[in-house]
Amino acid sequence: MLILAAVLALVCLVLALRLYALERDIRICARQLRAGRTRVSMAAPNAAAEELLTAINGLLDLREREEGDYRRQEQAIRQQIANVSHDLRTPLTSILGYLQLLEGDGLTVEERREYLHIVQGRARALQSMIVSFYDLSRLEGGEYPLARERVDLYHVLSQLVAEFYNDFEGSGFDMTVELREGLPAVTADPAGVLRVFTNLIRNALEHGRTRMSILLYQEGDEVVSIFANDAPGLTPEDVEHVFDRFYTADKMRTGQSTGLGLAIVKALAERMGHTVTAELEDGLFQVTVRWQTMKQ
């Protein structure tokens, strides 16, 4: 009987010590949490406590990642606001400057006509910029309506190249245009396809200098469109960011470029179920769109 009592007393003592140790560890964990620790630990956890620690540390890791994401997003938003302000301010400042010149009494008819023409051009650029801001916002928010129709890329691109012919000639580009006929149709939004091709041509016209190539051909189950132009000074690091909103590298932007054109290209193509990539090879900046063909 005495032996049984001694055993029970020993068991109670062990349990009491374990309970004390567990309570102490819980208090230590609580202090660690209040101190803002990113990981908590116990000196002698049991299996259940170990499971609880794993869950708590998992939540702490998730909170840390979310806080990091929030800080990065906040910084990106601030940078975007600064870039938007700069992009809007540039044409507005120009417009106001020329309007002030137009108030002068000593202008000739030719000078007045020239200044008005410049103001109209800056106003149209500003309007286009604001529309691009709005369209990109709708695309990223999933609010931009896109149809799913049969689209003949050769028909769209060949007509567009013809429309831009005078621009190519006027800019003095050494042009290479190779568009394969008889390509399979793709599933896309006709207006979206036109916007993608137009933005890519305008990007090449704006940033290219002497060389430009436009290719369209089939590769497996895809129709591939490639727009390439010479890009002096462009680096591989720049290429990694060309689809970012409001990319501000001087090598990719002039005072009138918002950095939205290629961002809209990528957003549109991906929303339609296709892929866009960019690379720099032998001094040529190349944007490739891979269009999935219609299933028979």
Is the pLDDT at 180 greater than 90? The verdict is yes
Verify that 46 and 125 share a domain, yes or no. no
Burial of 190 (0-12, 13-18, 19+ CB in 10 A): middle
Q: Which two tokens stand for residue 259?
A: 């950095």
Verify that 44 and 129 share a domain, yes or no. no
Identity of the residue numbered 83: N
Contacts of 18 by beta carbon, 8 Å cutoff, 6+ apart: 46
Verify that 192 and 63 share a domain, yes or no. no
Verify that 180 and 286 share a domain, yes or no. yes
Is the pLDDT at 51 greater than 50? The verdict is yes
Distance of CA 39 to the CA centre of its chain: 34
Please check whether residue 229 is in contact with residue 207, taking contact to mean a CB–CB distance below 8 angstroms. yes
pLDDT of the residue at 206: 83
Number of domains the chain contains: 3
Is residue 119 situated within a structural domain?
A: yes
pLDDT in tens, 134-171: 777 777 777 778 888 899 999 999 999 999 888 888 88
Q: What DSSP state is assigned to residue 209?
A: S
Verify that 16 and 129 share a domain, yes or no. no
CATH of the domain at 182: 3.30.565.10
**Where is average pLDDT lowest: 99-108, 178-187, 220-229?**
99-108
Q: Which residue has the higher pLDDT, 29 or 183?
A: 183
> Average of pLDDT values for 163-184?
88
> Average of pLDDT values for 259-266?
82
Verify that 234 and 273 share a domain, yes or no. yes
pLDDT in tens, 200-214: 998 888 888 888 899
258 falls in which pLDDT band (50, 70, 90)?
very low
Distance of CA 198 to the CA centre of its chain: 19
pTM of structure? 0.63
Please check whether residue 218 is in contact with residue 273, taking contact to mean a CB–CB distance below 8 angstroms. no
Verify that 153 and 51 share a domain, yes or no. no
Verify that 256 and 160 share a domain, yes or no. yes
Range of the domain at 6: 2-67
Could you give the strand order of the β-sheet that contains 174-179, starting from the edge strand earlier in sequence? 174-179, 211-219, 222-230, 284-292, 275-281
Handedness of CA 21, 26, 27, 31 (dihedral sign): positive
Verify that 97 and 159 share a domain, yes or no. no
Tell me how far apart the alpha carbons of residues 137 and 144 are, in angstroms, rounded to a whole number: 9
Is residue 74 situated within a structural domain?
A: no
Length of the chain: 296
Verify that 246 and 164 share a domain, yes or no. yes
pLDDT in tens, 73-106: 787 667 667 767 777 787 788 888 888 888 888 8
